[in-house]
Amino acid sequence: MGQIYRTNCPICGSPNILVNQHSEEIPYFGPIIILTIRCDVCGFKDNDLIPVNIQEPKTYKVKVKNVEDLNIKVIRSSSGFIEIPELGVEITPGPYAQGFITNIEGLLDRIEEVLKAKMDDEHEKTKCEKFLLKLKKAKEGKFPFTVVLKDPAGTSALVSEKGKVEAKKMSKKEVEKFSKNLGLMTYE
């Protein structure tokens, strides 16, 4: 059961910011709290995923070889780093990063939206058009690619019911590198 309440917007100060908080059980990951904040006055919005259980810092990796693999679930908190090397894509964490739950196809849709926003720049247009063709092939299962998700806070995951996802604990060195960039504390 969710909880909805209003509070003051951190950007414009309006007392009408809507906060929606609810919990969900994610198979193979555990319970999480999904937090969505939206201000109808200035347009400020934020999303985050907060795990109920503490997780170890992990790296997830999956090779997407066909259309069926596009259904693998992507749980990305604001501390998660996503890379698709074959496409040259990096989604980095930071203070304004938003968490989301989607699948790999939805992740590609998000990338496409960002790219289409850059199409107005004449210098970027040709590169964007080539990239969109490659992205289209990936969405059709005709271009194999790898999705790598790293999270030093352990609050992100790739989840597949068919066991196609490789998961490994992040090394202390990796955790320190990512944590330093995020301003997080490191672990022993």
Query: Residue 154 maps to which CATH number?
Result: 2.60.120.1040
The answer to whether 157 and 72 are in contact (CB under 8 A) is no
Q: How many domains does the chain have?
A: 2
85 DSSP assignment: G
| CA-to-CA dists, residue 95 to 42, 79, 180, 182, angstroms | 19, 9, 13, 8
- Domain coverage including residue 13: 1-52
Residues 11 and 92 in one domain: no
Residues 35 and 88 in one domain: no
pLDDT digit string, tens, across residues 75-121: 998 888 999 999 999 998 877 778 888 999 999 999 999 888 777 77
Does the structure show a pLDDT above 60 at 186?
A: no
pLDDT of residue 188: 38
pTM of the predicted model, to two decimals?
Answer: 0.76
Residues 14 and 61 in one domain: no
Q: What percentage of the chain carries pLDDT values higher than 70? A: 93
Residues 146 and 60 in one domain: yes
Residues 43 and 58 in one domain: no
The answer to whether 17 and 25 are in contact (CB under 8 A) is no
CATH number at residue 20: 2.20.25
Does the structure show a pLDDT above 90 at 150?
A: yes
Residues 66 and 25 in one domain: no
